[in-house]
Amino acid sequence: MRVPSNTYKMRAESNCAAALHSDDGRKYRMLNVLDEFTHECLAIRVARKLKAIDVIDVLSDLFILRGVPAHIRSDNGPVVRVKLQWWYALSKGRT
């Protein structure tokens, strides 16, 4: 039996498939949040633009539903990671 881990993996994707274009040719972005151990998809957010507040909104909902994980991994650049580290520290009560 696979037990959910205490690590979430985030990935924002764009232009990775033809399906991520609307009829008028504009691109969509997709934020996926996965359980790193079970590979269960915990959340998907699709929008034309994904801002930091959108990521925080998705993670807030997950924290309420599933609790705060011990770790969050992201491969989307240092700016996103710094903002999320700050917000994550606040959510765990560490400032």
Tell me the whole-structure pTM to 2 decimals. 0.72
User: Which H or E run contains 68?
Assistant: none
> Which structural domains are found in the chain, ordered by start?
7-91 (3.30.420.10)
What would the two tokens of residue 54 be? Answer: 């959108």
Strand ranges (DSSP E) for 1-95?
A: 7-14, 29-35, 41-47, 71-74
Question: Is the CB of residue 56 less than 8 Å from the CB of residue 37?
Answer: no
pLDDT digits over 23-74, tens only? 777 788 888 999 988 889 999 998 888 887 888 889 889 988 988 888 888 8
Contacts of 81 (CB under 8 A, 6+ apart): 74
Statement: residue 20 has pLDDT above 90 = no
Give Rg (Cα) of the chain. Answer: 14
